[in-house]
Structures are given as C-alpha cells and as structure tokens.
Amino acid sequence: RSTRLRDPLDGLDPEQRTAASAPRGPVCVLAGAGTGKTRTITRRIAYLVRQGHVAPTQVLAVTFTARAAGELRARLRQLGVEGAQARTFHAAALRQLRYFWPRVVGDTQWDLLDGNKLRLVGHAANKLGLPTETEVLRDLASEIEWAKASLVGPDEYPTVARTRRRDIGHPAERVAEAYRTYEALKNERRLLDFDDLLLHTTAALEEHRGVAEEFRDRYRCFVVDEYQDITPAQQRLLDAWLGGRDDVTVVGDVNQTIYSFGGASPRPLLNFTRRYPDATVVRLERDYRSTPQVVELANRVISGARGRPAGTRLRLIGQRPDGPRPTFAEYDDEPAEAAAVARQVRSLVDTGVPAGEIAVLFRVNAQSETYERALAEAGVPYQVRGGERFFQRPEVRQAMSTLRTAAAAESRTSAAASSAELPAMVGDVLATVGWTPRQPSGGAARERWSGLQALYELAEELTAEFAALAGQRPTLTRYVAELEQRAAAQHPPAVDGVTLASLHAAKGLEWDAVFLVGLADGTVPIQHATTDEAVEEERRLFYVGVTRAREHLALSWSLSRSPGGRPHRRRSRFLHGLVPEAEVPGRVRRPSRRRAGARALCRVCGRELQSTLEVKVGRCVDCPSDLDEELLERLRAWRAEKARELKIPAFVVFTDATLVAIAEQR
C-alpha cells in the first residue's frame, strides 16, 4: 500500500507547497488548527529526501506526545520514507543518551525513575519536615518539573519563582530545598527523571566534542511540530542538536499553546524570524479537517481569547462540505452524562463509524473512569490515552508475564536459530492467554481482546521497523524489551477502539466524532485557574478540543458530580453565547424525591402526572383532554413501546426525560 511513487507535493495547496518545497534552511509555518501543518512537514521531509537533499536517516522530527510521534511515523511510512526518525523530545533524548552514555559517564548503570517519583519527592519533603499528603507532593513534583523545564536550578528558584509569581502554597525557599533534596536523593540512587533525559543529553552534546561531532554527522535536518509548546529545556536541546546550523523547520499555532503552566512558551515560534531573518515563513488559513459548522464554532471560541500577540488573530476558513451542527446537552450528574455519551457512541458505531474514529475528551484524567465504565457497559472497546493504565490491565499484565517467560526460554535456546517471524511467535504466546486473530463479539470479551490485539500489533510494527532499518528481524527478547521500555515510559501501544483522552493528550490528533464532556465551570476552566493567563490557557485547551472533530461534535456538561447530588455546577463560561438555547435538549433529570412530593394528579382519574405536558393540561394522556388526539396517540404508542423495551409497566413511563433516567438506572 506504499505510495512510494507519489509526488510529495501532490495534494498540497500553494502555501503548503511553498513551505514543503523550500530549500534547506529555516522554515516556519504559523497557522491554525487543521490547516495542514503536520501534513506539510511530513511532505517536506519526503520532498527533501526525494530530491536527494538529505538521506532519511539524517532527519530527526520531534513532537510532544507519543501518539503524535506515532502519527508522524505512520504518515512518513505512507509517503514511502523509511528510516526517518519521528519521536517525542524525551524519546529522542533517551535514545541518544543510551548511545552516548558510556562515553559521557562511564559504565555505571543508571535507571529511569518511573512510577516512583512521588515517593522520592515524599522522602525529600519528609526530610525537610514538609507536609507529605499526596496533593502536596504532586504540587511539589510538578513545580520541580516546571523549574527543570525552565532551566531554573534550586539556587535560582526562589528569585525566579518570585518574579514569575509562582505560588504553590509554600515559601519559595522551602520549595527550593525540597527540589535540592530531591535531586540529591535521585543522584544517590543513580536515577534519572524525565527532565534529566533532556538536560543530560544537552550536556553531553555541549560538553563532549566527540559526541557533538558524531551527532552532527548523523543528523542534518530537524523538524519540530507543535513548536508553540516548546520549553526552554527543549529549545536548548534543539539548539545543541543544531549546533549553529539552521536546517530547521518549525510549525505551530499560538492559539494552541496549552503547556505554559509547565514552562512552555510560544515565544520561540513568534521570534523565529528575528532569529532567522532569511527564514521561509508561511501562513495557512484554510481548514481541511473540520466541517464549516465545526470551524465556525472554533472561530467563535478563540475570538473570545484575550491578550493574544499581534498578528496571531486568525480566522479559519472551512474547506469541507457541510456537516451536522455541533450539539449541546446538559445533564443532572456525571454518570447520567457518561451513560448518554456511551449510548450515542454506541449508535455511531452501529451506524458504521469505526470505533477508532471516535474520541471522548475530558479535562482531567480523573473523569476517565466514569466514561470507561459507561463504554464498557455499552460494549464499546476503548483505549485510554496518555494511558498509564494500559499496562495495568489484567489481560496485559498476564500476557506480559507469559511473554517474559517465553523470551527467557528463547534466549536459552539461541535466538538466531528461530525461523518464525516475530508476529507469529507473539501470536502463539498470546493465544495461551486467550487472544484470537479475530475480534470476538460481546462487550467484555471485545474489551479484553483489544488489549491483547494491541500487543500483537506492536509485534508487527516492530518487525516492519526492523526490516526498514537494516533488513533485520527482531527477536522475542527484543520485543519484550520494547514492551518493558514502553511500560516504564508509560507509552502504551495503540488499541483499536474509542479513544478516551485528556484535552492535553489530544493535541494534534483528529477523529470523525468527538465528544467534549464535563464542560462545567470548575472543570473547564479548571478550578485552580485563577489568574487571567491561566483562564486563557484553559480557553485554548477548549479550542484544541473543538478543533479535533472532523464531523460530529457533541458538547456536554452536568450540574452535579454524583447522582442525586445538589446541582451546584454551571456550564462552562466558555460556552456563553455559543449554545443555541432552543437546541439544548430537555435536561435529563432523574426523578427526584422532592418533585415526587409536589406531584400533580390527573383531574379525571387521579393518577400521578408524569410529563410537563400533562401537568400543563391537568390530565394524563389516557384521559380525554383538549390535546391533539394525534399527538396523544403518538405519545401512547411510544410509551408502550419503550415500556416493552425496558420491561416496566407502561404507566410508569411518560416523558423521554423520565425514560432516559429509568433506562440509566438499569
């Protein structure tokens, strides 16, 4: 299926072409969501390779999430470019560090600090007599991350924290001490955290001439996607990679800056032309991703943004045919919202939309579980993005332990003698824990299968990668090592199913149908966004969410968290002026005790009235009234049908609101 022969500039508009075919040297694409930035850079890589300007192995493309890097690799493969590297900054750094490590440090063994970071921060806090509640430790850990990403050491921290008005509720000096202690403990134990990967790689390139020279021979062409979210630490690494050269293409959208709380800044993107005055600069404004209906909503969301730098006010122009209008819905509580979303997802799948083309996006990962449960109940396979939980799934743990045993056996019998292909070997092992080549039917079985299938597909992926690199075949041992590495880096393989992801993890991606859930004030914008800047970042995050949808976009929120809870929340302030009030469907209410107390009775038969319509006329649908007979007939027929479906006595059900509430309780 390779499109090897296609012209890399095919299917690009004139501006995209200009960027893709610019001569080697600095190129900057500043453009809104869905305008083809990522498409343009993959085509540019293909173009430069095809023209013989660089060898694919001399290209290093970087981005910010594992999924986005995977997407880049997939697009490059489709273009027939094999061997170009597309990785996250961290993955690229990890790989380089592994390679240079012995020369830089000697042969002492260092390990990645994976899941134990909070524990180490806890030790540090404890040593200093700081509180050790998980919340506090989380805040401390992310503040240390911010400092390292911003290239701020423990000594400078107090001053910088004051000028940047960082406030995590502890005196800056105490935070600095915790930071210093954490670093010391980490070094004592010979551990590296994620930020160290960037810092150490940069140091290796800056301080070891041999390393730098070798690196410069190896990589000659650099590409950065999502450049608006680069941190100072990443920029410094990029500079070390470039080593004074200027063969760098950057693309980004200032309106999608969503990591500034973590130290990222769009400034390098905005200042790119100042740094490289002869850069090729291109602006794109045609949106190829979404229907005009989605584009219109996106434009309105971002036009409300405050404090944007000059020249970044951009209106997207939709290019696709019309589609359905975005929908808005309000629910009483989160489980009701999740159940309704799962139902809609199910019906999209039933009408032929592939599950992999649907996403449910939320603001905080804690929201995931409610949706996981609702989707599992609806029998829809799903995957969790940003997805530390993949490796905790019982079937995945079981499969991994079996695979480890098999790999150990392999290394005893000499791997080279094995003639089987890796996917076949992995398939055989997975079969012992219940994997089959075909997808089973039935919710739970399909769910379990999707996890095992992802492990199988990873074997195929690895085999293809090896074949492309050096015509080699990976062993089972190598495959298991890859799995262990991914588990440590919390980088799960792709599962084919509905994507559950945080808005942050969804950046750069797209789906046919997107459900933006939990759009209540306090969640979007998040409660702790108290400054204007923080609220603006939340708005951009919302914008990122809206612009992920190709066709179907459903926005929803609920008024309380748990069933029966006080409806204390309001819809997100970002929705003001966007929601066509007449179109928000009647809120889905659970029958509440209070309302039952104030019940109205039919004036003719005395039975309790259930629908607002009946209350209005004072009679139930079964008694004679002024209501249009045809309407009554329709109501009765519908009620009977629903009652049969739900196996409940017909008189209980009247309105769709009650019905849905009852359906959800089953």
Enumerate residues 526-555 that contact ligand ATP by CB under 6 A: 547
- The secondary element (H helix, E strand) that includes residue 248 is strand 248-252
How buried is 656 (Cβ within 10 angstroms: 0-12 exposed, 13-18 middle, 19+ buried)?
Answer: middle
Q: Is 38 in the site for ligand ATP (CB under 6 A)?
A: yes
Q: Is 386 annotated as a binding residue?
A: no
Residue 64: φ, ψ to 5°: -110, -20
Q: Is 316 in the site for ligand ATP (CB under 6 A)?
A: no
Residue 475 site contact among Mg ion, ligand ATP, none (CB < 5 to 8 Å, cut-off depends on kind): none
Cβ proximity to Mg ion, 69 vs 140, nearer residue: 69
Cβ proximity to Mg ion, 38 vs 558, nearer residue: 38
Q: How far apart are CA 641 and CA 621, in angstroms?
A: 15
Cβ proximity to ligand ATP, 201 vs 249, nearer residue: 249
Q: Is 11 in the site for ligand ATP (CB under 6 A)?
A: yes
Residue 35 site contact among Mg ion, ligand ATP, none (CB < 5 to 8 Å, cut-off depends on kind): ligand ATP
Q: Is 65 in the site for ligand ATP (CB under 6 A)?
A: no
Dihedral sign, Cα of residue 336, residue 642, residue 594, residue 612: positive
Q: Which of 20, 22, 27, 36 binds ligand ATP (CB under 6 A)?
A: 36
Enumerate residues 469-508 that contact ligand ATP by CB under 6 A: 508
Cβ proximity to ligand ATP, 154 vs 545, nearer residue: 545
What is the distance in angstroms between the CA of the first residue and the CA of the last residue of the chain?
46
Site string for Mg ion, 475-514 (x = CB under 5 A): ---------------------------------x------
CA 497 to chain centre: 14
Site string for Mg ion, 34-63 (x = CB under 5 A): ---xx-------------------------
Q: Which of 20, 27, 30, 35 binds ligand ATP (CB under 6 A)?
A: 35
Distances (CA, A) of 346 to 205, 218, 336, 410, 646: 51, 49, 15, 43, 18
Q: Is 523 annotated as a binding residue?
A: no
What is 59-101 written as a DSSP string?
A: EEEEESSHHHHHHHHHHHHHTT--S-EEEEHHHHHHHHHHHHH
What is 466-535 written as a DSSP string?
A: HHHHHS----HHHHHHHHHHHHHTT-PPPPSSEEEEETGGGTT--EEEEEE---BTBBTTBTT--SHHHH
Q: Is 453 in the site for Mg ion (CB under 5 A)?
A: no
Q: Is 367 in the site for Mg ion (CB under 5 A)?
A: no
Q: Is 266 in the site for ligand ATP (CB under 6 A)?
A: no
In the complex, the smallest distance separating the C-beta of residue 43 from Mg ion, rounded to whole angstroms, is 13
- Residue 273 in tokens: 């032309």
What does R_g of the chain's alpha carbons equal in angstroms? 28
Which one of 6-14, 32-40, 227-235, 511-519 is the stretch in contact with Mg ion (CB under 5 A)?
Answer: 32-40
Which one of 28-36, 123-131, 158-166, 389-397 is the stretch in contact with ligand ATP (CB under 6 A)?
Answer: 28-36
Q: Is 12 in the site for ligand ATP (CB under 6 A)?
A: yes
Q: Is 586 annotated as a binding residue?
A: no
Q: Which of 253, 334, 537, 664 binds ligand ATP (CB under 6 A)?
A: 253
CB 38 within 8 A of CB 289: no
For helices 394-412 and 422-431, give the axis angle rounded to 10 degrees.
Answer: 120
CA 269 to chain centre: 22
In the complex, the smallest distance separating the C-beta of residue 33 from ligand ATP, rounded to whole angstroms, is 4
**Which positions ≥6 away from 618 have C-beta within 8 Å?**
600, 602, 603, 609, 625
Q: How far apart are CA 344 and CA 135, in angstroms?
A: 35
Q: Is 33 annotated as a binding residue?
A: yes
- Residue 246 in tokens: 């200027």
Which one of 5-13, 116-124, 153-161, 471-479 is the stretch in contact with ligand ATP (CB under 6 A)?
Answer: 5-13
Q: Is 201 annotated as a binding residue?
A: no
Q: Is 39 in the site for ligand ATP (CB under 6 A)?
A: yes
Residue 288 site contact among ligand ATP, Mg ion, none (CB < 5 to 8 Å, cut-off depends on kind): ligand ATP
Cβ proximity to ligand ATP, 226 vs 247, nearer residue: 226
CA 114 to chain centre: 20
**Which positions ≥6 away from 76 have C-beta within 8 Å?**
42, 45, 46, 61, 82, 84, 86
Residue 289 site contact among ligand ATP, Mg ion, none (CB < 5 to 8 Å, cut-off depends on kind): ligand ATP
Of the candidates 10, 11, 9, 13, the residue with the CA atom closest to the CA atom of residue 317:
13
Binding positions for ligand ATP, rule: CB under 6 A: 11-13, 16, 31, 33-39, 253, 256, 288-289, 508, 510, 547
What residues are designated binding site for ATP?
31-38
Binding site for Mg ion (CB under 5 A): 37-38, 508
